Amino acid sequence: MNRLQGKTVTNEAPTMTKTKLTPDQLCRRTDPETFSFETTADLPAPANHLGQERAVEAIEFGIAMKRPGYCMYVLGRPGAGKHRFAREYLETQATSDPVPDDWCYVYNFDDPHQPTALNLPAGTGRAFEADMRQLVDELKVALPAAFESDDYRARNEAIETEMQERRENAVAELQEEAEAGQMALIRTPMGLAVAPIKDGDVISADDFNALPEAEQERRKQGLEDMQAKLQATMRSMPLIAKEQGQRDLNRETARFTVEQLITDVTEQYADFPDVLAYFDDAQEHMVEHADRFLGGEKQEGVPALGAKSAGSEFDHDPFHVYRVNVIVEHGDEDGAPVVYESLPNHGNLIGRIESLADFGTLVTDFTLIKPGALHRANGGYLILDAVKVLSQTFAWEELKRTIKSREIRIESLAQALSLTSTATLKPEAIPLEVKVILIGERMLYYLLSAYDPEFSELFKVAVDFEDDMDRTADASEEYARFLGGWRARKACGL
C-alpha cells in the first residue's frame, strides 16, 4: 500500500470472476433447418463479392468516372480474394465497353529515328500490314514491266534521237564558226579537237611554226577560244540534257505505275488522314527510289535493317522501310481489354526497343519496337500488384508519369537515367486512356497516401475490402452459396 498526495493506493490486482463455459457455448452452430435448400448444388452461382457491398459500390464508381485521376486501389488483408474480385468484375464490365483501336509503327520518311504511330479500327491493323506487303510485291513486278514496255523504249529512243540531233547541230554551228576563223573541228580517239587550217587543209606543225610570229599568236588565241567554247558546249548540252531527260522519263514512268497501284489501296483508308499522309510519303519514296524495285539500289543502312531470323544475322532488305509493325491488335476481342501484368518492370509497362547484333554492332529499327502492358490495356483496364510495381526499379515513377501525361512514350531505362548518349529511336508517343487498378494491403495504401503526394492525385478511388460481416440468416445462406461455388471451382481445377 502506497500513499500518493494524501490518497491511499493499493497494489493488489483486481479480483477476476471465473465463468465456466460449455463446449456448445464455444462454438456457434448454424441450424440447417433455417436454410431454404437441401444441398448447395441447388443454389445458383454465387457472387464473388460476399459481404463486400461497399467495395462493389467503390469499383462501380471508379469505372463510371471517365475523368483522369480516378484510378483504383483495391485494399484488404491477404487472401481476401481481391485479385479475383477485381478481375472478374472488370471482365464483366469490359464486355459492354467499346473495342479500342489497333496501333502500329511505320517508317518515318522525313526522320527515320522517330517512327510514326498510326491507329486504326480494331482488326484493321493486320489488314493494313498485309496491304502494304501486297503493294510492295505488286510493285516488284509492275515497275520492271513498266521500264521494259514498248512505250518506255520508244520514248527513251526518242530522247536518244533528240539528244543526237542537238549534238550534231551544236557541232555544226561550232564548225561554221571555226571555219570562219581558219580552224576546223576534227575527230580524234579522245573526242573532238580544234586545229588550224589553210586552204581547207590542216596545217602541220612545221608549217605553223613557219608562219610569222604575229600570225602564230593570233591563231593560238583563236584556237584557245574555240577549244573553250567546244568544251563548254560538250559539257553543258548533250550528256547532261540526256541524263535529265532520262531522269524525267524514269520518274514519270515510276510515278504513273506507283500511283496506279497505290490508289487502289488508299481508297479503303479514305477516312483516316494520318494513314493517307503516310501513303503520300511512301509513294514519293517509292518514286524516288524506283531502282530498288529494279534491283539497282541497295539499302542505305541503319535504321532500316531486318533480321533474317531470331539470330544475329541481318538481311539488308531494300523494301524494309515499307513494313508495318503492328504492336497492338484487338480484332478478336468483344470489348475492352483487361490485362494483368505479373512482372511490372519498366520495359514490361511502357514497352521497349530491342536490338540485334550485326557484325558486332547493335542495331535497331522501327520493326523492333515491342509493346508493354499499357499498350495492351490501352482503352481498357490494367491490373497490377502494388508491391511488385514498387519493387521494380523506376517502374512506379514511370507508371505515374505515364498516367499523368496520358501518353505512352517508349524510352529505355538507360535513356531515362541519361546513362548513355548512343543514338537510338524515339518512337512517337501513343495517347493513353486506361484505368489502372492496384491491388495491395491496407498498410501500403496508407503509406503511399502519407508519403507520395501524387498517389492521392492519381488513385482517388479506394476499393476497401471488409474483414468481417454480420452473421445473419441471409448472410449464412450467401456464405453457403459461396462455399458451394468454391468447391465446384476447385473440382474443375479453377
Residues 51 and 170 in one domain: no
Bridge partners, residue 370, by sequence: 352
Residue 383, SS3 per DSSP? strand
What HEC string does 57-87 produce?
A: HHHHHHHHCCCCCECEEEECCCCCCHHHHHH
Nearest to 253 by CA among 102, 147, 126: 147
Which span out of 101-115, 166-180, 240-254 was modeled with the highest average pLDDT?
101-115
Residues 190 and 287 in one domain: yes
Task: List, in order, residues 6 or more apart from 302 with CB less than 8 Å away.
Answer: 363, 364, 365
Here the cell at position 448 is 503511399
pLDDT digits (tens, 9 = 90+) for 100-116: 999 999 999 999 899 99
The CA distance from 101 to 329, in Å, is 7
Instruction: Please identify, among 304, 322, 357, the residue that sits at the C-terminal boundary of a domain.
Output: 304
Residues 429 and 392 in one domain: yes
Domain that holds residue 227: 126-304
Longest dimension (CA), the chain: 156
pLDDT higher at 369 or 221: 369
Handedness of CA 292, 297, 303, 309 (dihedral sign): positive
Q: Does pLDDT of 142 surpass 70?
A: yes
Inside any domain, residue 73: yes
pLDDT at site 80: 72
Q: Calculate mean pLDDT across residues 48-54.
A: 63
Residues 191 and 249 in one domain: yes
Inside any domain, residue 211: yes
Residues 344 and 454 in one domain: yes
Contact predicate 442/76, CB 8 Å: yes
pLDDT at site 79: 75
Inside any domain, residue 113: no
Task: List, in order, residues 6 or more apart from 266 with CB less than 8 Å away.
Answer: 276, 279
Q: Cell 485479385 sits at which residue?
A: 83
With a threshold of 0.85, does the pTM exceed it?
no
Inside any domain, residue 314: no
**What would you report as the CA-atom Rg of the chain, rounded to the nearest whole angstrom?**
41
Residues 89 and 202 in one domain: no
Q: Calculate mean pLDDT across residues 470-475.
A: 63
Contact predicate 389/341, CB 8 Å: no
Q: Are strands 435-440 and 381-385 parallel, antiparallel or unpaired?
A: parallel
Least confident of 61-70, 310-319, 467-476, 479-488: 310-319
Residue 323: its H or E element: none
Inside any domain, residue 391: yes
324 pLDDT band, cuts 50/70/90, is very high
Residues 198 and 241 in one domain: yes
By the 10 Å C-beta count (0-12 exposed, 13-18 middle, 19+ buried), 140 is classed as middle
pLDDT higher at 320 or 44: 320
Count of domains forming the chain:
2
Residue 261, SS3 per DSSP? helix
Amino acid (one-letter) located at 136: V
Inside any domain, residue 385: yes
433 pLDDT band, cuts 50/70/90, is very high
Which span out of 194-198, 217-221, 348-352, 423-427 was modeled with the highest average pLDDT?
348-352
Which span out of 78-82, 194-198, 272-276, 460-464 was modeled with the highest average pLDDT?
272-276
Q: Cell 490494367 sits at which residue?
A: 382
Residues 294 and 206 in one domain: yes
308 pLDDT band, cuts 50/70/90, is very low
Inside any domain, residue 395: yes
* Cis before 303 (ω within 30): yes
Contact predicate 315/294, CB 8 Å: no
Here the cell at position 277 is 499522309
287 pLDDT band, cuts 50/70/90, is very high
Task: List, in order, residues 6 or more apart from 132 with CB less than 8 Å away.
Answer: 265, 282, 322, 323, 324
Here the cell at position 160 is 536518244
Give the DSSP letter of residue 306: E
Q: Calculate mean pLDDT across residues 64-84.
A: 86
pLDDT higher at 184 or 382: 382
Least confident of 297-301, 339-343, 382-386, 422-426: 297-301
Q: Does pLDDT of 428 surpass 60?
A: yes
Which span out of 25-29, 222-226, 354-358 was modeled with the highest average pLDDT?
354-358
Residues 60 and 166 in one domain: no
Q: Does pLDDT of 147 surpass 70?
A: yes
pLDDT at site 107: 95
198 CB neighbour count, 10 Å cutoff: 13
Contact predicate 363/314, CB 8 Å: yes
Nearest to 321 by CA among 80, 86, 107: 107
57 pLDDT band, cuts 50/70/90, is confident
Residues 358 and 299 in one domain: no
pLDDT at site 78: 83
Computed over every residue of the chain, the mean pLDDT equals: 79
Inside any domain, residue 102: no
pLDDT higher at 218 or 159: 218
Residues 388 and 463 in one domain: yes
pLDDT at site 349: 96
Contact predicate 356/76, CB 8 Å: no
202 pLDDT band, cuts 50/70/90, is confident
356 pLDDT band, cuts 50/70/90, is confident
The CA distance from 286 to 139, in Å, is 9
pLDDT higher at 11 or 107: 107
Here the cell at position 447 is 503509406
Amino acid (one-letter) located at 273: P
Instruction: Please identify, among 283, 304, 325, the residue that sits at the C-terminal boundary of a domain.
Output: 304
Q: Does pLDDT of 474 surpass 70?
A: no
Looking at residue 373, which CATH number applies to its domain? 3.40.50.300
pLDDT digits (tens, 9 = 90+) for 360-415: 777 888 999 999 999 999 999 999 999 999 999 899 999 999 999 999 999 877 66
pLDDT at site 130: 95
Give the C-alpha distances (Å, rounded to integers) separating 476 from 29, 36, 464, 469.
11, 11, 22, 10
Residues 91 and 136 in one domain: no
Instruction: Please identify, among 304, 319, 347, the residue that sits at the C-terminal boundary of a domain.
Output: 304
